[in-house]
Amino acid sequence: MKRIWSLICLLSSALVLLAVSVAAADNIALNKPITYNGTFGGGTDGRAVDGTFMARGTHWQTGSLWWNGPSPNIIIDLQGLYVIDSMIVQADDNDAYKVEYWDGAQWQKAWDVPNYDNYGWGLQTRPNPNNNAEKYLLPSAITTNQLKFMATSGDNRYSVSEIQAFGTLVPLPASLLLLGTGLVGLAGLRWLRRKS
């Protein structure tokens, strides 16, 4: 009986460690559904969350989602509740944008994506036009199930080719149950060692 209890404890602990290691920060916006509010060119086919960066300086209407006027926006449904700590955006160079997140009651600012007019022409990655992998670290992590992207200023011709958000899924009750089982297993293992 003592061996079976030890085996259960070890398996529970291993499952918890596996669950924690899988929870690495990934691009959680990748291939998620988008709601398009407004009139867009370039095709409303999810290209802004397909994981693909265009070559720096690509024309603003080539391979991107583009629009005229600041009012259109896109909403990315993350299909779950996530804690997000960083983002990357590739958009037209001479415009400023904003990413907002839904806090459960209203839209809140996550990131004022700056105008990169001085870095060259065409599509530019933010925060670093020279490095598509460099992430903008949010001042503090946000928890949300939706992101909204929109233009805030510029030449009235806007485009975005990639929006990435990095974070981890908020544990669901089943995950909490797994964590609790693992903790009970560890406590049981410690109890067995003390008894020996």
Where do the domains of the chain lie, and which CATH numbers do they carry? 23-169 (2.60.120.260)
Contacts of range 184-191, beta carbons closer than 8 Å, 24 or more positions apart:
184/12, 185/8, 185/9, 185/10, 185/11, 185/12, 185/13, 185/16, 186/9, 186/12, 186/13, 188/5, 188/8, 188/9, 189/6, 189/9, 189/10, 189/13
Average the pLDDT over 134-150 and give the result.
97
What pLDDT is stored for residue 176 in this prediction?
54
Note the pLDDT tens digit of each residue in 146-176: 999 999 999 999 999 999 999 999 986 644 5
Confidence class for position 104, pLDDT limits 50, 70, 90? very high
Note the pLDDT tens digit of each residue in 58-89: 999 999 999 998 789 999 999 999 999 999 99
